[in-house]
Every structure is written in structure tokens, then in C-alpha cells.
Amino acid sequence: MQEEKHRALIDKYLTDTLTEGEKKDFILLMENPEFKEAVLHEKHIVAALKAKEKAKLKANLKSFSSRIPTTPQQTSNTKRLWMAAASVILIVSIGYFIYMNNQPISNQFINYYEPYPAVTIQRGEGEKISKALQLYSEEKYQEAVDELTSLASPDQQAYYLYLGNCYLQLDETQKAITTFEKLIEISNDSILTQHSQWYLAMAHLKANQSEPLKILLRNIINQNGMYSELAHNLLKEID
């Protein structure tokens, strides 16, 4: 019993989790030279293990980092000023040309976006789920967000789709993007993935983020799935 109690204290000491009260008991025990020697030996072992694990993590991270290119260093101030001046002229010219010939790509949002349809609420479903979907179908998006935030999880992935759509409706596009990206990351269902990719495209469209949008649309087209044709048409409009 005594030995077990000591072991628990030593383990807490080695993992830096002793409470203030336990620290006092431990200091008393450390007055015994044999006990102290044994504990410090164990501490060295744990320190060695920590060092080994940290070095391993560093090696892995370095190997990962070596595959990530460093973008070139920025140029000197003078050069940068000249380049900025040239860029301003170029941007103004291009901007004027674009303004005369194009509208922002987000104007296409209204033509392509349809909220993800609310499912019919099944009898016997949980009260919270029914309430969230009811609010969504009644277009009470802010209230739906409050409910859906606690429902969406890796086990209940579909709710991310509703949650992201709520954010789109509430003009919180960055939150919508994060939500759809999360769903794409965790989804193990190809249909759900296709929906989330399309709605992520809608979020980029609404946010006028043409580069990630184009990449995503090409990806959707290549998959030849349920949104390929829509993606193809949208890409033609904005390219």
C-alpha cells in the first residue's frame, strides 16, 4: 500500500503533475537519500526518453519541411518601390479593363447557388436534430447555427453541410469555407464529399476567390460526379 502510494507520487513528480499538497509529502520523502537516488535515476531516464522522442519528432518534421519549398526572399526596398509603382500602373490599367468588361465573379453566386435541401424530419429522431433541421428549413439560419454547431462531428458529418450552408446564408463566407474544408478532410462518404466540394466552390465564389475556385472546379469536373456539369458551366463563365 505504502509502496503503491510512493509509486503514484513518483509518477506524478516525473510527469510534473504533483499538487501543492503532494509536493510537500514528496519533499519529505526526498530527504531519504536512497529514495532520492532512485527517483533522480528515473528522472534521468524520463529526460532521456523525452530527448529521444523530441529528436525523432524534429527529424520527421525536418524531413517534411524539406519537401516544402521556401518562396523566394523579397527584393530590396528600391526595387520593391519601382515594382510597386509599375504594379500600380498595371493594376489600374487591368482594373479599368476588367471593370469595363466584367463584373465580380461573386455575381454568379445567385445563378449557381441553391441551399442544400433540408431533409424531411423523420419521426423518432432526436429532439435537438429535429429542432436544428426545422430551423434550417424555416431559414432561421442564425438559430440553426447554434444548434448545428453542437451536432456536427466526425460521427455526424452531414451536419457540417447544413452548418456551412447556414454560414453562406449569413454572409459568413470564411466560416463556411472552414466548415466545408473540414468536411472534405474528414468525410469518408463520396457523395458527401461531392456536396461539400461544390458548396466549398460556392463559398469561394461568394468570397470572390477566383484562384482556389478555379482549381476546385477543375477538380470537380475531373471527378465526373454529380456537380461536373455545373462546375464546367461556372468555370466557363469565370475563366
49 is a site residue for another protein (CB under 8 A)? yes
- Nearest approach in angstroms of CB 46 to another protein is 5
**Binds another protein by CB under 8 A, chosen from 24, 32, 37, 45:** 45
C-alpha cell at 146: 447554434
Q: Please tell me the distance from the alpha carbon of residue 95 to that of residue 185, in angstroms, as a whole number.
A: 36
81 is a site residue for another protein (CB under 8 A)? no
53 is a site residue for another protein (CB under 8 A)? yes
61 is a site residue for another protein (CB under 8 A)? yes
123 is a site residue for another protein (CB under 8 A)? no
**Binds another protein by CB under 8 A, chosen from 5, 23, 43, 232:** 43
Binding span for another protein by CB under 8 A among 63-71, 114-122, 134-142, 188-196 = 63-71
Q: Which is nearer to another protein, 69 or 126 (CB)?
A: 69
φ, ψ of residue 30 in degrees (nearest 5): -70, -10
Instruction: Name the 3-class secondary structure at 103.
Output: coil
Q: Which is nearer to another protein, 132 or 184 (CB)?
A: 184
Do residues 201 and 213 touch, judged by C-beta distance below 8 A?
Answer: yes
**Binds another protein by CB under 8 A, chosen from 1, 31, 33, 64:** 64
Q: Which is nearer to another protein, 47 or 83 (CB)?
A: 47
**Binds another protein by CB under 8 A, chosen from 19, 74, 77, 122:** 74
Binding positions for another protein, 146-175, rule CB under 8 A: 174
| Single-letter residue type at 63 | S
84 is a site residue for another protein (CB under 8 A)? no
- Nearest approach in angstroms of CB 183 to another protein is 12
β strands within 139-217, DSSP E: none
C-alpha cell at 55: 529528436
Binding positions for another protein, 166-225, rule CB under 8 A: 174, 177-178, 181
Do residues 145 and 170 touch, judged by C-beta distance below 8 A?
Answer: yes
Do residues 195 and 165 touch, judged by C-beta distance below 8 A?
Answer: no
Alpha carbon of 39 to those of 9, 10, 34, 35, 53: distances in Å?
10, 7, 9, 6, 21
| Single-letter residue type at 48 | A
16 is a site residue for another protein (CB under 8 A)? yes
C-alpha cell at 126: 432526436
Q: Please tell me the distance from the alpha carbon of residue 109 to that of residue 114, in angstroms, as a whole number.
A: 9
Residues that bind another protein (CB under 8 A): 7, 11, 14-17, 40-55, 57-58, 60-62, 64-65, 68, 70-74, 174, 177-178, 181
